[in-house]
């Protein structure tokens, strides 16, 4: 069987006019950084990468060593290629400018360098999430305001999941495509063309320890799922919660499901738990490209007009019919 690598896939996308040479380079560089992060993640205790970094990020969260390492790898890998105007990271307070000695390009890159940090030390899958926007500012140094574009403006989005195998899942607006890292060859091999999310599902993901903080529409929906075959939804559901959004979304892109980190009383003051620019928007683009839906419960995620770089939002995404059901419960309430 002919093996198609990520490089080959991207060149074919470029030939078909779907991506520019600069966007191809950008994605290749992100993939290279992901390989380096994968090496660090998989060495674990042998490389001394587990545990706390001893610092807090701008959002007041304690950083793990791997949060810092993954962030450094992504920043350094993407600085010199000439394809970026600037970067923004969950782990960095404000816009990361390209150093003066390197040429600048037309794209903005945003990332959650290490998603699922609480799973690092227990050897459970973690990931990296990224989003690509065009720089509307032209020649000047991009400001935070230049990043505040709705998710519908994304030109590419993807994630890497560092699980039993390392996989890269990508969209450039033409479906969702999955690649598996061949560690011996050092290349990503095209293994999952056009990933799709079935419209119906019997699997849900939510952190049920927050049940007492949920809003009524989410309580109603979870109660109805738990009522099973004899309840109003007429079917039995199964539950999964990895606590790495990347791993939960990867399962949904593989076999369907609904993922919720909804608004609740605990996170209301912050606007939600998950980050709009680094988590919600890129995952929403992937999920919609795979035939699913992504909403806050009240609005389509990719329609939101961001107000700040580290903004948080409620997230409900996955199998279309189930997401639409939850949205209808919110609208009724």
Q: With CB under 5 A, what is the number of residues at the site for Mn ion? A: 4
Contact 217, 206 (CB under 8 A): no
Check residue 203 for interaction with Mn ion (CB under 5 A): no
Binding mask 237-276 for ligand AHG (x = CB under 6 A): ------xxx---------------x---------------
Rounded-to-integer distance, Cα 187 and Cα 7, Å: 9
Residue whose CB is less far from ligand AHG, 115 or 203: 115
What are residue 275's DSSP bridge partners? 312
Which of 116, 142, 151, 297 is close enough to bind ligand AHG by CB under 6 A?
116
Rounded-to-integer distance, Cα 295 and Cα 314, Å: 8
Task: Give the pair of three-digit tokens for residue 169.
Answer: 């899942």
Per partner kind, with CB cut-offs from 5 to 8 A, the member of Mn ion, ligand AHG, none near residue 244 is ligand AHG
Rounded-to-integer distance, Cα 6 and Cα 179, Å: 7
Check residue 115 for interaction with Mn ion (CB under 5 A): yes
Residue 166, SS3? strand
Check residue 248 for interaction with Mn ion (CB under 5 A): no
Looking only at residues 66 through 95 of this chain, which bind ligand AHG when binding is defined by CB under 6 A? 90
As measured in angstroms, the least distance from the Cβ of 99 to ligand AHG is 26
Rounded-to-integer distance, Cα 49 and Cα 82, Å: 30
Rounded-to-integer distance, Cα 308 and Cα 277, Å: 9
The answer to whether the annotation marks 248 as part of a ligand binding site is no
Q: With CB under 6 A, what is the number of residues at the site for ligand AHG? A: 11
Q: Pick the stretch among 4-12, 110-118, 194-202, 292-300 that binds ligand AHG (CB under 6 A).
A: 110-118
Check residue 50 for interaction with ligand AHG (CB under 6 A): no
Q: What angle (nearest 5°) sits at the alpha carbon of residue 199, between those of residues 198 and 200?
A: 90
The answer to whether the annotation marks 279 as part of a ligand binding site is yes
Q: Is residue 60 classed exposed, middle or buried when 0-12, 13-18 and 19+ CB atoms within 10 A define those classes? A: exposed
The answer to whether the annotation marks 61 as part of a ligand binding site is no
The answer to whether the annotation marks 114 as part of a ligand binding site is yes
Task: Give the pair of three-digit tokens for residue 242.
Answer: 């990895």
Residue with tokens 């950008």: 26
Which of 112, 203, 288, 322 is close enough to bind ligand AHG by CB under 6 A?
112
Looking only at residues 175 through 234 of this chain, which bind ligand AHG when binding is defined by CB under 6 A? 207
- Residue 260 phi, psi (nearest 5): -135, 125
By the criterion CB under 6 A, which residues form the site for ligand AHG? 90, 112, 115-118, 207, 243-245, 261
Residues of the binding site: 90, 112, 114-118, 207, 273, 279
């Amino acid at each position: 069987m002919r093996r198609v690598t990520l490089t080959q896939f991207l060149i074919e996308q470029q030939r078909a006019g779907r991506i520019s040479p600069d966007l191809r380079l950008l994605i290749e560089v992100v993939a290279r950084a992901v390989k380096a992060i994968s090496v660090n993640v998989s060495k674990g205790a042998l490389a001394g990468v587990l545990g706390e970094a001893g610092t807090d990020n701008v959002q007041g969260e304690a950083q793990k060593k791997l949060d810092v390492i993954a962030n450094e790898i992504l920043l350094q890998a993407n600085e010199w290629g000439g394809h970026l105007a600037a970067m923004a990271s969950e782990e960095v307070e404000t816009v990361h400018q390209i150093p003066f000695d390197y040429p600048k390009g037309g794209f903005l890159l945003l990332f959650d360098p290490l998603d699922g940090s609480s799973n690092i030390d227990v050897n459970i899958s973690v990931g990296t999430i990224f989003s690509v926007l065009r720089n509307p500012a032209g020649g000047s140094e991009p400001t935070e305001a230049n990043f505040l574009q709705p998710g519908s403006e994304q030109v590419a989005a993807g994630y890497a999941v560092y699980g039993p195998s390392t996989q890269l899942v990508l969209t450039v607006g033409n479906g969702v495509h999955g690649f598996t890292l061949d560690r011996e060859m050092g290349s990503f091999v095209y293994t999952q063309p056009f990933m799709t999310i079935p419209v119906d599902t019997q699997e849900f993901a939510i952190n049920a320890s927050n049940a007492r903080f949920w809003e009524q529409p989410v309580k109603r929906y979870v109660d109805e799922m738990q009522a099973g075959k004899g309840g109003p939804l007429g079917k039995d559901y199964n539950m999964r919660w990895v606590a790495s959004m990347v791993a939960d979304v990867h399962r949904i892109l593989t076999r369907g499901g609904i993922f919720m980190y909804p608004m609740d009383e605990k996170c209301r003051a912050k606007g939600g738990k998950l980050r709009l620019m680094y988590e919600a928007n890129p995952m929403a683009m992937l999920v919609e490209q795979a035939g699913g839906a992504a909403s806050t419960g009240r609005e389509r995620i990719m329609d939101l007009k961001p107000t700040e770089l580290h903004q948080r939002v409620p997230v409900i995404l996955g199998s279309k019919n189930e997401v639409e059901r939850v949205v209808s419960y919110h609208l009724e309430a």
